[in-house]
Amino acid sequence: MNHKTFFTLCTFCLLATTLSAPAQAESAEAKTVNKTQQLYRDHCAECHNEHRLGGMGPALLPENLKRLKMKDAATVITNGRVATQMPAFREKLSETETRSLVDYIYTPLEQMPVWGMAEIRASQIIHNKASELSDKPVFEVADLLNLFLVVELGDHHVTLLDGDKLEPIHRFKSRFALHGGPKYSPDGRFVYFASRDGWISKYDIYNLKLVAEIRAGINTRNQAVSADGRYVMVANYLPHTLVLLDAKDLSPIKLFEAKDHTGKTSRVSAVYTAPPRNSFIAALKDIPELWEISYDDNPPAGFGFWVHDYREDSGEKITPDPFPVRKIEVSDYLDDFFFDQDYVNLIGASREGKGQVVNLDVGRVIVPDLALPGMPHLGSGITWEYQGRTVLATPNLKANNVSVIDMESWKTIKNIETLGPGFFMRSHKNSPYAWVDVFFGPNKDAVHVIDKSTLEIVKTLRPAPGKTAAHVEFTRDGKYALLSIWDTDGAVIVYDANSLEEIKRLPMNKPSGKYNVYNKTRYLEGTSH
């Protein structure tokens, strides 16, 4: 080999090495990315969506993880998360794999999906025209207000139950992963469902038919129906919006961006209707604000931001915003909240367990540090009269007790010790008892029955040893209490609410919740929104 040939060959080899190095590095990086994506598909996608947009679990995007630090996210993946369905992966994932998943979920999407008014409007489906639906039920029952809807998460169905005969009437398929509980029209004829992936469905109970559907978000938290039955408000985790719909056919009316005066956006923790106020109340998850949105045709003077009736310079008539927003600053984030029976005071708490009381009439926090250290599940809180005063009782998601609080002094009367953290608590104005489950921990098959006059546990039921027992709802008259066994081979168990004896079992596929029309439309003190 001559000198010239040797030099040419060396140059070629050097050039080939130089050119291939980035390609090899890129290939290694691509392999790492592909491996992480496969880990996500294997362990996370079932609950959080293949594209991280949320499903049974929340969206896993940096925009939706603002309050969770990366190191804390690694801990959640490793150890699970208290008071959620998030399992621990310490036995399945190495530390390196966990770190790679954390990096992945905190990486922005190349293109964030847009879901604004145009997309919402285009998604609307009209299944049956109102003019073609009969005003008379196609089935016979003694009391249309004593019907129940049972959500069966096991196979995404809903069962309509006769509350007098305590027998199923009809079973129909729902959207995937319903969340937040169905909401009824004031007369109980229509029911509105919200799924985790943003679909809102209107169902006609009388005709056993879907009326309309629309996708109001990508990852939805819950919905509320106005007390007059005209509107549906949807709270979204993604995008950061509230969406107002016409209850007739779910046509979109208005989109509210959940953001503060600086432009910072937020997920919406929850939205509920406040009947005597003719308004929706919404809490923001990433901004310490509470919003009251009026649907009153004549909102109170000074409510929200109202423009002057006329422009000062031209005298031009200005139409005021028909859905004004009143923003109230709070002392901490509100992940969950609860109203007193008059809808004057709102009791809220953060995931960290800090409680506060907001007076909606004056628009400010009146108790900045309510004693609720166990992370209360206030969405399941109830009230009753105890020794001449109204008390609030709530299970705690991080503590083995039920907190009982005087709603005048806002002092804790008692912490009732339980066998573990609870999720749901229910009673009825005609019942002497309050029922609370032990949803989390080794005693998940236990349900405590509390005497409301003594604040003592009088009985602990274990209706299906080893299986989760949760969520009690009463019949309209409070005579029977219905309890769920959260299992694919589960059941709704009917108890005599006074003797506490079991009456019957109705087989169901993981019945997560039962919702009585009368109790839910009258907002009785023993039930939730």
**So where are the chain's domains?**
25-105, 136-287+289-329, 366-529
Bridge partners of residue 257, in order along the sequence: 241
- CATH code reported for the domain at 25-105: 1.10.760.10
Q: What Å distances lie between residue 298 and 273, 331, 368, CA to CA?
A: 17, 30, 32
* pLDDT for residue 18 is more than 90: no
| Phi, psi at 307, each rounded to 5° | -80, 160
Segment 79-96 mean pLDDT: 84
Q: Which tens digit of pLDDT belongs to each residue from 343-372?
A: 999 999 887 778 899 999 999 999 999 887
CA 30 – CA 52 distance, rounded (Å) = 19
Peptide bond preceding 320: is omega within 30 degrees of 0, i.e. cis? no
CA 348 – CA 355 distance, rounded (Å) = 6
Give pLDDT, residue 478: 97
Q: Which tens digit of pLDDT belongs to each residue from 162-171?
A: 999 999 999 9
How many CB atoms are located within 10 Å of the residue 127 CB? 14
> Residue 108 in contact with residue 115, Cβ under 8 Å?
no
- For residues 529 and 224, the model is more confident at 224
CA 52 – CA 138 distance, rounded (Å) = 42
Bridge partners of residue 426, in order along the sequence: 435
CA 520 – CA 513 distance, rounded (Å) = 13
Instruction: Give the pLDDT band (50/70/90) at residue 14.
Output: very low
**Helices within 325-382 (DSSP H only):** none
Q: Which tens digit of pLDDT belongs to each residue from 287-321?
A: 999 999 999 998 877 676 433 344 445 555 556 67
Continuous segment of H or E residues that includes residue 27: helix 3-43
The DSSP string of 448-474 is: EEEETTTTEEEEEE-SSTTS-EEEEEE
Look at residue 42 and give its three-state secondary structure: helix
250-270: string of b/e by CB count within 10 Å (b at 16+)?
A: bebbebbebbeeeeebbbbbb
Give pLDDT, residue 116: 97
According to CATH, the topology of domain 136-287+289-329 is Methanol Dehydrogenase; Chain A (2.140.10)
According to CATH, the topology of domain 366-529 is Methanol Dehydrogenase; Chain A (2.140.10)
CA 410 – CA 414 distance, rounded (Å) = 12
Give the tokens for residue 57.
């679990």
| Phi, psi at 196, each rounded to 5° | -60, -30
Q: Do domains 25-105 and 366-529 have the same CATH topology?
A: no
Collect all residues with Cβ–Cβ distance below 8 Å to 345 and sequence separation of at least 6: 339, 357, 358, 359, 360, 366, 407
Put the strands of the sheet holding 480-485 in their side by side order.
469-474, 480-485, 490-496, 502-508
Torsion of CA 503, 149, 152, 482, to 10 degrees: -20
